[in-house]
């Protein structure tokens, strides 16, 4: 037996408090009535008075509250075990950590939006192994292929340009590093998602993408930023970054570069505008790939029967009975004839 939504039982914590308040009210009410006269005389002046009726109505309301609370939490009983084969794809996410990713032409900045996209993707994954490659002037494997999504998110939050001392945008090296991260025994079940502003032309990117595609890697690219670009903030000078001529440095999204890499890698290009929509699109593309059965990782699932409807019915019946019980009122004075 289990409760599907155990947190909903917290509402039942109010029941003891309500009972204490009711008992206090009964004690207070009796004290007030005794101050007016004898209990027998006072009771005779109440129309339809039945001893214990107030308590009965309260008990019915309490039972209704308890039953509805349990029904809301949905009590379940295990039925049977089902063995399900796990299937998934190996996904490497290559994240650009060059300083141009700090541009604010998308809010709050390019890198933060890119991280939000990766987080959304991870939240939608189930059986896929995922890895993280970070790159700028060099590429590094930050997280090997894993199904530990929590660890992946933790490492993702720590990703920042200062992790890579050499600046630039070497997409080719990121693709090569990702390709090495995949199993070399298989020529499918592999997806690479490159998230970058594409700034800085990489002459070797197309060749690397074609080599990866020949090895069975499907490459999707995501562009972060705007073609109009934005000035860069220099944290060292606490002002806008300037070039050697003293002019503000403007960083622009290079869509053509990213589109070419995606085409060479047999994948798609996505401009990151709406984070959820971009994540949905990428996950759909990944799920549409041929998936491998994860050997030795079959999962047993327990199926459950729910009993919430019986508790809700009991609560409803208790409320109806309480409502049908007549109340009590002051007797009308009958004129003497």
With a pLDDT cut of 90, the percent of the chain lying above it is: 49
So what's the pLDDT on residue 333?
45
Terminal-to-terminal C-alpha distance of the chain: 69
102 in Cβ contact with 116 (< 8 Å): no
Total length of the chain: 337
Is residue 224 pLDDT above 50, yes or no?
yes
Average pLDDT (105-116) is 94
Which is higher by pLDDT, 297 or 335? 297
CB atoms within 10 A of CB 221: 28
Over residues 66-79, the mean pLDDT reads 88
Contacts 24+ apart (CB under 8 A), 99-103: 99/136, 99/161, 99/167, 99/232, 100/169, 100/197, 100/199, 100/225, 100/232, 100/251, 101/161, 101/196, 101/197, 101/224, 102/161, 102/232, 102/233, 103/197, 103/225, 103/229, 103/230, 103/231, 103/232, 103/251
Secondary structure (3-state) at 221: strand
Burial class (CB in 10 A: 0-12, 13-18, 19+), 190: buried
Give DSSP secondary structure letters for 143-185. EEEES-HHHHHHHHHT--GGG-SS-S--HHHHHHHHHHHS-TT
Tokens linked to 52? 């214990």
Overall fold of domain 87-293: Rossmann fold (3.40.50)
- Band (pLDDT 50/70/90 cuts) for residue 167 is confident
Instruction: Report residue 42's pLDDT band, with 50, 70 and 90 as the boundaries.
Output: low
Most confident of 36-40, 47-51, 54-58, 315-319: 315-319
**Cβ–Cβ < 8 Å for 240, 232:** yes
Rounded CA separation 75/309 (Å): 10
Contacts of 51 (CB under 8 A, 6+ apart): 43
pLDDT of residue 235: 66
Whether residue 272 contacts residue 224, with contact meaning beta carbons closer than 8 Å, is answered with yes
pLDDT band at 332 (very low <50, low <70, confident <90, very high): very low
Residue ranges per structural domain of the chain: 2-80+304-330, 87-293
């Amino acid at each position: 037996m289990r409760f599907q939504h155990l947190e909903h039982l917290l509402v039942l914590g109010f029941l003891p408090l309500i009972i204490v308040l009711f008992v206090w009210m009964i004690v207070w009410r009796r004290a007030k009535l005794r101050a007016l006269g004898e209990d027998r005389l006072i009771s005779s002046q109440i129309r339809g008075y039945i001893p214990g009726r107030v308590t009965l109505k309260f008990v019915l309301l309490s039972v209704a509250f308890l039953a509805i609370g349990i029904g809301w939490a949905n009590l379940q009983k295990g039925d049977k075990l089902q063995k399900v084969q796990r299937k998934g794809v190996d996904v490497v996410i290559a994240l650009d950590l060059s300083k141009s990713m700090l541009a604010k032409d998308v809010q709050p900045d390019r890198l933060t939006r890119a991280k939000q996209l990766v987080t959304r993707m991870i939240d939608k994954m189930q059986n896929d192994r995922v890895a993280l490659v970070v790159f700028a002037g060099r590429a590094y494997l930050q997280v090997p292929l894993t199904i530990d999504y929590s660890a992946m998110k933790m490492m993702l939050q720590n990703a920042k340009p200062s992790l890579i001392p050499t600046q630039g945008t070497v997409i080719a090296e990121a693709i090569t590093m990702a390709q090495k991260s995949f199993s070399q025994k298989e020529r499918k079940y592999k997806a690479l998602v490159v998230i970058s502003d594409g700034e800085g032309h990489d002459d070797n990117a197309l060749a690397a993408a074609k080599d990866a595609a020949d090895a069975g890697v499907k490459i999707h690219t995501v562009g972060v930023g705007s073609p109009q670009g934005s000035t860069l903030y220099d944290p060292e000078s606490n002002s806008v970054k300037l070039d050697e001529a003293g002019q503000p440095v403007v960083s622009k999204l290079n869509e053509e570069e990213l589109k070419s890499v995606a085409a060479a890698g047999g994948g798609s290009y996505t401009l990151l505008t709406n984070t959820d929509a971009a994540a949905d699109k990428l996950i759909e593309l990944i799920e549409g790939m041929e998936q491998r059965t994860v050997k030795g990782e079959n999962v047993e699932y327990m199926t459950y029967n729910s009993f919430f409807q019986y508790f809700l019915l009991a609560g409803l019946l208790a409320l109806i009975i309480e409502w049908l019980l007549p109340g009590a009122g002051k007797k009308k004075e009958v004129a003497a004839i």
